[in-house]
Amino acid sequence: MKLNKPFFVLAPMSDVTDTAFRELVAKYSEHGTPHGGPDVFWTEFVSVDGLLSAGREFLLKNLEYTEREHPIVAQVFGSKPKNFFEVGKLIKKLGFDGIDINMGCPDKSVEKQGAGASLMKNPKLAQEIIKATIEGAGGLPVSIKTRIGYHQENLEGWINALLETKLAAITVHARTRKEMSKVPARWEEVARAVKLAKGTGTLIIGNGDVTNLNDAEKKARETGADGIMIGRAVLGNPWLFNRKSLFQCSQEHWNKKSMEVKEKLRVMVEHAYLFEKKLGKTKNFAVMKKHYKAYVNGFDGAKELRTKLMETKNAREAENAVNIFLNTK
């Protein structure tokens, strides 16, 4: 895929960037128009082992997407090169525009499998996985999302090991695995990664603490990154990638000044129904609670409404709670 630089992409986030939420982002950021949408969508990650198991059909729900979401990259995780080879073929068959391997997730259950962030401790295996994926993907761009080190910063050694495999792109989350998200992202490390990758043909995408498109553009200028990945800021804010000036403001600014509370709550209810329709048989509705926390804040009565929403068990109950709230205003 050819992208203008700097480009801005939607981060893969477990139980956040699922098929329902991505559809909303595409709709409300007006993806496909000259001023709207992420330049690339990423799916939430899916286990390569699971995709080759008896539970494959269940997991394939996580890889559903609409045509409006192109270009879209499927993110996967695991530790067995042969499984990445097979899943590379599957991802190509499913019509994705790229495949991304997670080598930065700090979740203990993921690391116990030798996957995610644990691969930073095993560069040889990481390279074998990448090579198997490239071979299986049959020409699809293959990329990595990772961190700047495991216990401590090891950017040069780790990034150089990845660059040897001729990846299409590396997304650098500018923290170590040990730091999780407890400290500010160190964007000077993204700038270092850009220098390391210069002349290799591998794109560097920066990630960590990006608040909006203006902030993304600033970080791209300061670091020289080819692209910027935006994650947590999009929670409760499917309009974030809309390039119209009204929407290039921070979450706090939206909540207090720009967005009508009624409209924001309407979209939240739409989100709940869409989640129920698309994922109701494969995911617990409680997943919507993290979205409620993001949508419902910054206005009078938000705390009380959030409390009510946390008690809801389906979209209808969520809609009723919102209607009662609005009718008492």
Which one-letter DSSP state was computed for residue 328? T
| Rounded CA separation 62/154 (Å) | 32
Catalytic-labelled residue, pool 11, 105, 132, 225: 105
Sign of CA dihedral 5, 183, 73, 190: positive
- DSSP-H helix ranges across the chain: 19-28, 48-51, 56-60, 81-93, 108-111, 123-137, 155-163, 187-197, 213-223, 251-253, 261-279, 288-295, 302-309, 315-327
For the question of residue 105 being annotated catalytic, the response is yes
Residues 6+ apart with CB under 8 A from 41: 9, 10, 17, 22, 25, 26, 65, 69, 70, 71, 72, 73
| Rounded CA separation 278/258 (Å) | 30
Instruction: List active site positions.
Output: 105
